[in-house]
Structure 1
Amino acid sequence: MQLDPSAQPHAPTHKPFYAHLYFQVVTAIICGALVGHFFPQTGEALKPLGDGFIKLVKMIIAPVIFLTIVTGLAGMGSLRGVGSVVGKAFAYFLTFSTLALIVGLIVANVVQPGSGMNIDPATLDASAVTGYAEKAHETSLTGFVMDIIPSTLVSAFVEGNILQVLFVAILFGISMILIGDKAKPVLAVFESASLAIFRVVDILMKAAPIGAFGAFAFTIGKYGISAVANLAALVGTFYLTAALFIIVILGTVCLLNGFSIFKLISYLRTEILLVLGTSSSESALPSLMEKMERAGCARPVVGLVVPTGYSFNLDGTNIYMTLAALFIAQATNTDLSLQQQILLLLVAMLSSKGAAGVTGAGFITLAATLSVVPTVPVAGMALILGVDRFMSECRSITNFIGNAVATVVVSRWEGALDRDQLNAALNGNLPEAAEEALVPDGPTAR
């Protein structure tokens, strides 16, 4: 993708530091933590601010995904291209999702964060996790596949199910490819609509500091920082494992594909901070799609890889599941043989698919995994319920970064990556608006 040269200044203009969205989000998170710690009741009362912002973003996700995919696929003009992108994306997802599960399993066996706790499962409050277990029981592979198909063509947009919107968008995009030139008037309307939708994203992102402030104040106010101290070994191990996965494994992938993981993280710093503040990677999905396109990734690849990755490429969730499952086993003195651990990993590979990047999804998926492997007591999840919210933030950030890397890599594999534009984005040489994920004239159509 080439941006309109006339819309770019000869040199990036610099705003004062306090005008940058990422600075505002950082400040909001710090203020939220202070309010939640010193005035916990007030912090809990601020929950609607975070929930309201996430609802605003979710409101716009369906049209963003639909318009991006339809205009992107229609611009490809070939069904072979669609199949190629989907095939390479799922090959990437399967490889690194499995690798994340294995990493969590290995770290849990080496560090053994639950060893020595000697918890009797009979003393645990199973009722605390009953709701999660019931939701997990309702989850099955057949149910997941059937849930991809919406009841009607428009119900996917009404319910906000990402996979249903993706399904409808792909069908619509393929139909426009088959129609050919006669679909050009409709394509022109969709391209114009996408300009308006991304302008809405621009407007909504201005409220990001308010949402981050409310969400973080609630988290600290309700659970307290002291909740982390009680299970510091598990939380610390998880954060360290996620950091190593990002830096070592994803960093190596980035290096082999000609870019730096650290520069990519810097480029997406505003969105990462937003994910940290809201504990939901969905809160930054529209901005991620926009910024990856601005970084030189082809629109069809962005439109297919990012939304699909939010359900099938959840590296953070996968690390969490095997690590947390073995923590519970160790804490309750439940011995697991190598064969049982492999079974646990295989079950987790299936149950992790379709877990959307929203708060609590990882916990529900863990319940689904443990319910299939009865050796580990599901009641043991009560041990980590108090700190799950803190681990949710790390899960979401790892998932988010993993999908950003996947988008660049698949774009490169497809020969649909503008190297010069990627380097400009990662080196901070794009216009200021691009750095803040704000589009002055909307995304460039392909």
Structure 2
Amino acid sequence: MAATIAIEAPTSVAKPWYRVLYVQVLIAIVLGALFGWLWPALATNDWIKALGDGFIKLIKMVIAPIIFCTVVSGIAHIQDAKKVGRIGVKALVYFEVVSSFALVIGLLVGNLVKPGHGFGGGMANAQAVAGYARQAEAQKSVDFFLHVIPDTVVGAFAQGEILQVLLFSILFGFALMGLGERGHTIREFIDDAAHAVFGVIAIVMKAAPIGAFGAMAFTIGKFGTGAILNLVGLIATFYVTAALFVFGVLGVIARMVGFSIFKFLAYIKDELLIVLGTSSSESALPSLMEKLERLGCSKSVVGLVVPTGYSFNLDGTNIYMTLATLFIAQALGFDLSFSQQLTILLVAMLTSKGASGVTGAGFITLAATLAVVDPRLVPGMAIVLGIDKFMSECRALTNLCGNGVACVVVSWWEGELDKDKLHANLNKQIDPSDVETAITAG
């Protein structure tokens, strides 16, 4: 039997508000923003920046072991190898359908609102834009697929390459499945190792408020509130479009499966605030996987869908690419034809996968998309370069929501969603406040 990491009984005593993780993170974000605004010189100090970077590194440290343990355990405990392939196919079908909705919504809003019309922004920082454009050019489809195969297994883990670790984990899981009873000892060891790594996460998550404070203080201190106000129209349009996607598209999907998107977002509020503070969806990946398993999703689905979704289900990035492409075209005075806008959809669907795992992936995929649609648009990236940091937070939040819902939907589609657990958690009959509760209860 697979070891579970689920909490089965409701907690009797509620935590004091000041000990709840999401409250601590929220306070840290506000304090960090104030600190960066009032003392920008101090906020851009290397040690302040290190608070946010250090927390993200601590989380990234455990992502590869978590993916390996979860995927291997999920596959090894499945008796039918066809089931793994079936889950993978269902996940990819879901990803492509929902990603298409994200792209179309971004395109529709861009055409209706026209946020770039009448824009008089300058074309600064062309050198930085050229750097992103070169990175985008390097991300060819063939290179991407070859990059999925690691040079060495140790190298994949050492460099934290999610897709490479995922590939090896799937192969190792199938090999362990083929061993039958002979692999019992290894399976038990991997299950126990997963519990231990989740224990590490419980310790690391205590530093989340410190990381959020450092990241937010540095961001505001470096870019200033003026950077936000400069292109507030585009930022507001992007955030509203992302909200429309989450509460509209994902909300309808959630209702079809039988749960409320509002209750689901409340359930993962800790992870959402951590992403908001750090601007990195990876910072919440381990605890999101653990929470989804406790929510009633099967171990095998969580292990396959969530890591894959971080590379193939980037809903926020898709919205950003279509909306930003139209914004730049409008700002530069280009009228994109219907065929060019259709090209945006097709190219963005591919480039959003091609730059996964690359620093500044959203901006790199934008460069790749612009280059294909019309090379004359590439210099226009300088217009949005200064505010990309603030838009990356919305991309990460939307990606997190999309992957969480995807996991629940695929579990339901596969017939492996425990609806009693789902409703007990979403209705707060079980305390989902932190990872540590589940570890000590398991």
Under a length normalisation based on structure 1, what TM-score does the superposition of the two structures give? 0.95
Shift of 1:377: 1.7
Is contact 1:281–1:357 with CA below 8 Å preserved after alignment?
Answer: no
Partner residue in 1 for 2:114: 112
1:52 is matched with which residue: 33, 54, 58?
54
Mean CA deviation greater in 127-136 or 97-106: 127-136
Q: Deviations over 1:18-73 (max 9, x none)?
A: 00001100010000000000011121121111001101100100000000000111
* Distance in 2 between residues matched to 1:93 and 1:226, nearest whole Å: 37
Is contact 1:316–1:396 with CA below 8 Å preserved after alignment?
Answer: yes
Shift of 1:415: 0.7
| Number of matched pairs | 439
Partner residue in 1 for 2:82: 80
SS at match of 1:207: helix
Aligned partner letter, 2:233: A
Partner residue in 2 for 1:353: 353
Q: Deviations over 1:59-97 (max 9, x none)?
A: 100000000000111111211110110010000000011
* 1:248 and 2:256 aligned: no
* 1:202 and 2:215 aligned: no
Q: 5 Å matches for 1:114-263?
A: 114-117=116-119, 124-263=124-263
- Percentage of matched positions with identical amino acids: 54
Q: Deviations over 1:203-236 (max 9, x none)?
A: 1101100100000001111111221111111101
Q: 5 Å matches for 1:357-376?
A: 360-376=360-376
* Distance in 2 between residues matched to 1:69 and 1:354, nearest whole Å: 23
Distance 1:315 1:61, change over 3 A: same
Q: 5 Å matches for 1:277-292?
A: 277-292=277-292
Aligned partner letter, 1:286: P
Q: 5 Å matches for 1:273-422?
A: 273-356=273-356, 360-422=360-422
Shift of 1:12: 3.7
RMSD, aligned α-carbons: 1.8
Shift of 1:358: 7.1
Q: Deviations over 1:270-305 (max 9, x none)?
A: 100000000000000000000000101001000000
* Distance in 2 between residues matched to 1:386 and 1:119, nearest whole Å: 11
Is contact 2:73–2:173 with CA below 8 Å preserved after alignment?
Answer: yes
Is contact 2:347–2:369 with CA below 8 Å preserved after alignment?
Answer: yes
Mean CA deviation greater in 292-301 or 131-140: 131-140
The gaps in structure 1 that reach 5 residues or longer are none
* Distance in 2 between residues matched to 1:20 and 1:184, nearest whole Å: 39
Is contact 1:332–1:380 with CA below 8 Å preserved after alignment?
Answer: yes
Is contact 1:280–1:358 with CA below 8 Å preserved after alignment?
Answer: no
1:436 is matched with which residue: 414, 431, 434?
434
Shift of 1:9: 4.6
Distance 1:40 1:235, change over 3 A: same
SS at match of 1:190: helix
Shift of 1:440: 4.4
Q: Deviations over 1:136-157 (max 9, x none)?
A: 1110111110000000122110
Partner residue in 2 for 1:64: 66
SS at match of 1:339: helix
Is contact 2:98–2:315 with CA below 8 Å preserved after alignment?
Answer: yes
SS at match of 1:297: coil
Is contact 1:312–1:354 with CA below 8 Å preserved after alignment?
Answer: no
Is contact 1:428–1:435 with CA below 8 Å preserved after alignment?
Answer: no
Distance 1:443 1:127, change over 3 A: farther
* Distance in 2 between residues matched to 1:374 and 1:3, nearest whole Å: 52
Aligned partner letter, 1:435: S
* Distance in 1 between residues matched to 2:349 and 2:369, nearest whole Å: 9
The gaps in structure 2 that reach 5 residues or longer are none
Shift of 1:357: 6.6
Q: Deviations over 1:376-405 (max 9, x none)?
A: 421100000111100000000000000000
Aligned partner letter, 2:409: V
Is contact 2:69–2:191 with CA below 8 Å preserved after alignment?
Answer: yes
Shift of 1:13: 2.2
* 1:101 and 2:103 aligned: yes
Aligned partner letter, 1:52: G
Under a length normalisation based on structure 2, what TM-score does the superposition of the two structures give? 0.96
Task: Give runs of ≥4 in structure 1 deviating > 3 Å.
Answer: 1-5, 7-12, 354-359, 439-444
More helix by share: 2
Shift of 1:370: 1.3
* Distance in 1 between residues matched to 2:379 and 2:144, nearest whole Å: 25
Shift of 1:368: 1.3
